[in-house]
Amino acid sequence: MLLTNKRMVDHQVKFLSLFFLIFLMAGSMVLPARALTVPARTWGLCFGNSPNFTGLRFNFIDRNIQTINGINFTLWKPPDKLATGTVNGLSLGLMPYANRLNGIQIGLLGAGAKENITGITIGLIGAGSGQDMKGINIGGIGVGAGGSMIGINLGLVGAGAGENVIGINIGGLGIGAGQNLIGLNIGLLGVGAGEKVIGITIAGLGAGAGEKLTGLTICGLAAGSPSIRGVTIAGLGLGGKSISGLSIALGTVQVTDDGIISGLNISAFNYIRGTQRGVAIGIVNYAYRLKGLQIGLVNIVRDNPKGRVVLPIINFCF
* pLDDT, position 27: 40
Q: How many CA atoms lie within 13 A of 257 on its CB side?
A: 0
The dihedral through the CA atoms of 41, 45, 48, 53 has a sign that is positive
Judge whether residue 1 has pLDDT over 90: no
Say what the alpha-carbon torsion angle 270, 271, 273, 279 is, to the nearest 10 degrees.
10
Judge whether residue 31 has pLDDT over 80: no
pLDDT, tens digit, 9 for 90 and up, residues 235-283: 999 999 999 999 999 999 999 999 999 999 999 999 999 999 999 999 9
- Report residue 20's pLDDT band, with 50, 70 and 90 as the boundaries: very low
- Report residue 34's pLDDT band, with 50, 70 and 90 as the boundaries: confident
Distance CA 191, CA 169 (A): 10
- Report residue 3's pLDDT band, with 50, 70 and 90 as the boundaries: very low
Distance CA 265, CA 237 (A): 11
CB atoms < 10 A from the CB of 243, how many?
30
Q: Which residue(s) pair with 259 in the sheet?
A: 274
Judge whether residue 105 has pLDDT over 60: yes
139 closest CA partner among 120, 115, 156? 156
Distance CA 316, CA 312 (A): 11
